Amino acid sequence: MIKVGIVGYGNLGRGVTLAVSKAPDMECVGIFTRRNPESLTPAVDFPVYSMDKLQEFKGKVDVLLLCGGSATDLPSTTAEILKDFNTVDSFDTHAKIPEYFKKLERVGKEYGKLSAISIGWDPGIFSIARMLFGAVLPDGNDYTFWGKGVSQGHSDAIRRIYGVKNAIQYTIPKEDALLKVRNGENPDLKTGDKHLRECFVAVSDGADKALIEKTIKEMPNYFADYETIVNFVTEEEVKERQQKLSHGGFVFRSGNTTEENSHLLELSLKLDSNPEFTGSVLTAYGRAVARLAKEGATGCVTVYDIPLKYLSPLSSAELRAHLL
């Protein structure tokens, strides 16, 4: 049995908890939280500890599944945690991945631990599709569309702005762009041509709404390159919208092998719950990291470095016989 620890218990932590409980080859040693452990009732009856106790589990956990956010949690904590534990995380600030990788690669090698970063569906499953599609159809273009759905990273980023009490953000594909791609027109689309971002924000009494709206719309990486709509609403409305965390998206590659022969490759996901599905992906990569670490792998890896067989509880012989 693979011994797993879960760090953080927000939406993603809950999703990971559910996924670990369903894995036939995993047991959870505990959920670690910065909150008062007594205050937390997890979806599955796993033990809950304060983050302060994490050190006591050194040598007793095969892999930690890190469920913090990409804006501040992961950049400020993963490298420290990696000194003592193998880790998997869902770091999704695309622009900062190279820098994040570099740091964890150095720490992992130095301390003999393995870290898998940017795991989930994008980055993650979609990254696999982009790379694989590009390798097998080199003469072409690829297009990633997200939504309609809630982006937790973007919602999180808004909530960190001074004066914001709660917020939720929807990423919405632009229909005309989607149509052009499906028709094989190979359009030239910038990031902002493919999506708009709609935000529902609840603010504190007396907050400077104009400043908050400006701060959102100009936030680098998250909003600056997009058409962004900001709606100020009640806390109740935000809360109601937060009950349904559905998401999805498409990766297309459209290209040619000869002038006359074109091909369209498409991966699409329709997800009722983004954090539950992301948690399920994190858990499969937890299995891979535990196995690779056991074989002596150290440093930092992404979905591009891990042979797919490591993700499955089935043996290689079973995979060849039943899935190949």
Site for its own copies, rule CB under 8 A: 15, 18-19, 22-23, 94, 97-98, 101, 118, 123, 125, 127-132, 134-139, 257-258, 260-273, 276-277, 279-281, 284, 287, 302-309, 311-313, 316-317, 319-321, 323-324
Is 47 or 138 the residue whose CB approaches its own copies more closely? Answer: 138
Task: For the chain, state the CA radius of gyration.
Answer: 21
Taking the complex as a whole, the smallest distance from the CB of residue 12 to its own copies amounts, in Å, to 12
Tell me the two tokens of residue 98: 């190279």
Nearest distance from residue 289's CB to its own copies, in Å? Answer: 13
Tokens for 301? 């890896």
CA dist., res. 148 & res. 143, Å (int): 16
| DSSP structure string for 93-157 | -GGGHHHHHHHHHHHHHHHT-EEE-S-SBTTBHHHHHHHHHHHHS-SEEEEEEE-SEE-HHHHHH
Nearer to its own copies, 25 or 218 (CB): 25
Q: What minimum distance in Å lies between the beta carbon of 106 and its own copies?
A: 14
Rounded to the nearest whole angstrom, what is the least distance from the CB of residue 310 to its own copies in the complex? Answer: 9
Shortest distance, position 268 Cβ to its own copies, whole Å: 5
Helix and strand numbers, DSSP H then E, in the chain: 11, 14
Query: Please, which residue, 170 or 285, has the CB nearer to its own copies?
Result: 285
CB 83 within 8 A of CB 111: yes
Give the nearer residue to its own copies in terms of CB position, either 101 or 200.
101
Instruction: Rank residues 56 and 99 by Cβ distance to its own copies and give the closer one.
Output: 99
